[in-house]
Amino acid sequence: MVNEQMVNKFMTATEITQLRRQGKLKEALEAVEQQRRDNPGDYAIACAAAWVYYAIIKQNKDNLNEVNKNLQNIAQLQLPAKENIIYESIVWAIYNVLDSVKKQQNTLPQIKQTLNLLDQLPINRQHESYYALLNTATKQEDPQTLLAIIKWWNLNKLRQQDYQQTQHNGEQLMPLAEKAYYAQAKAILNNTNDTVITAYLPLLIQRQQKHPQYTYLTYYITKMQNKIGQHQQALETLKPFAKKKNSEFWIWTLIAEMQDNEDDKMTYYCKALTCHTKDEMAINMNRTIGQYMFQNQQTQTGKYLIEKAVATYRRHPEWKIPQELIHLLNSAEYQHIQPQLNTQYIQQQAQKAEEYLYGQLTTTKAIIYDINTDKGIIDIITENQQTKNIRTNRKNKYTIGQLISITHPAENTGKKINALQITPINEPDNNLFYKPFSGKIKIINNQCGFVENIYIPQHLLTNLTNGETIQGIAHRSYDRKKDSLTWQALKIK
């Protein structure tokens, strides 16, 4: 511990710095305060003092009162902007402070004071530390704190590069601007009144028009329009977005929540149920739709979904079952119902929902000739002999040579088919897609073979010899090199 002889008016800035670097912050602080009283105009002492106050901020990042006290001390030093290293270090320290206290409650007044004190410093608002502050703002758990920091930061200061994706360890990261826009919109949607939302909406719409690649801005616009009573406008806003995200259950639950008509609400809830989703992600959907159906004449399906949600709750004891659901589970009305999923009813209602979104629907038969499992893309040949592709759930197991029926919008005439439903069908005698063949096989380097114009893939060559007469069934396929339709063996008899 520093004694009285060490802390005296002759202690230099260098000696104070040494104390700080040794972690003796208490002694360094005593020396700083002594020297500031004795030598108020000493520039070197002022710089050493700033570093001591900075070190105390770092050490007390969970204590906003201590942080603000030392920020105030730094501001009183009135060091010029040329001391950019200390100011940049201070901003990085405040970044860590905000990250550290994000789960604390009732900190808004203190954080506002922190921001006001930063305004008293000549910080460089083009430095990365300043942009890091915005990044940590988006992670604040208290929405009012989040909004206060973003307002102080001023989103008009976003740079061109902040609108672009970046990479970290090979992973694509969301642009800072996109992250800030979403965070601000979510906080305003869930924690402000209709007046604030009405005033904010034009800005959000302007951002969406300027950055259409930020797809979830449309989601927040829709939610806000619906919240302030612009229901029809919300539905029209959502339509183009919903077409891109039609396989995600929350799109359909969102549309359902906008309906005043109970039958329409049931229709969109049914469509949501057809979307493939993990039980953990769908727990709220199953609970909400289950309760709704139970109370609206679909009691067996409703109970089936509720039981599914309850089973998920029980696998995660840290998740609490809502009290209203507990009351329903204990009711006599609930207990005497047998759970059973009415799949036919759900599919019928789901098609109605799709027709609302896409207009007229049609079905197309097609044969699968190639599958990209990693990307979830299936290449097909349709019944009018056109090659197209569809994107599908990667968990669905399809096979090359499989015949399928695809439900899709009638207006869908491009190379990519927007498949709303894919159903395997069994038509082995369909001569558009299959044909029998026989003849002598010509095997090439044990890699593949041909029977006249029929391609034999390697996995069918087992136990076959070159020149052997074979017979089998071939399916329609496509040769990318020749850009022409071909035939490929499906099985050897």
pLDDT exceeds 70 at position 8: no
Position 360 scores a pLDDT of 82
Q: Indicate the SS3 state at residue 227.
A: helix
Looking at every residue in the chain, the average pLDDT score rounds to: 90
Pair (328, 457) in one structural domain: no
- Answer whether residue 267 is part of any domain: yes
Q: Which neighbouring-strand residues pair with 390?
A: 378, 417
- Separation of alpha carbons 391 and 414, rounded Å: 14
Pair (53, 169) in one structural domain: yes
Pair (308, 333) in one structural domain: yes
> Span 416-437, mean pLDDT?
89
Pair (70, 165) in one structural domain: yes
Residue 35 is part of which domain span? 13-205
pLDDT exceeds 70 at position 395: no
Domain end among 205, 237, 269:
205
Higher-confidence position of 191 and 47: 47
- Answer whether residue 298 is part of any domain: yes
Pair (72, 170) in one structural domain: yes
The predicted-structure confidence for 318-374, as pLDDT tens digits, reads as follows 999 999 999 999 999 999 999 999 999 998 999 888 888 888 888 999 999 999 888
- Separation of alpha carbons 417 and 198, rounded Å: 38
Pair (175, 72) in one structural domain: yes
Pair (39, 175) in one structural domain: yes
- Answer whether residue 221 is part of any domain: no
- Answer whether residue 226 is part of any domain: no
- Answer whether residue 215 is part of any domain: no
The predicted-structure confidence for 9-60, as pLDDT tens digits, reads as follows 467 889 888 889 998 999 999 998 888 888 888 899 999 999 999 999 999 9
- Answer whether residue 158 is part of any domain: yes
H runs (alpha helix) in 320-459: 323-330, 332-335, 343-358
- Separation of alpha carbons 61 and 67, rounded Å: 7
The CA–CA distances, whole Å, from 83 to 15, 43, 119, 150, 243 equal 20, 11, 16, 26, 54
Pair (133, 27) in one structural domain: yes
pLDDT exceeds 50 at position 469: yes
Position 403 scores a pLDDT of 94
The CA–CA distances, whole Å, from 184 to 35, 118, 148, 294 equal 46, 21, 10, 37
Which residue is listed with tokens 């659901």? Answer: 325
Token pair listed for 208: 């969406």
Position 169 scores a pLDDT of 81
Pair (251, 195) in one structural domain: no
- Separation of alpha carbons 124 and 122, rounded Å: 7
- Count of domains forming the chain: 4
Contacts of residue 1, defined as CB under 8 A and 6 or more positions apart, other chains included, come to 27
The predicted-structure confidence for 129-171, as pLDDT tens digits, reads as follows 999 999 999 999 999 999 999 999 999 999 999 999 888 787 8
- Separation of alpha carbons 313 and 203, rounded Å: 40
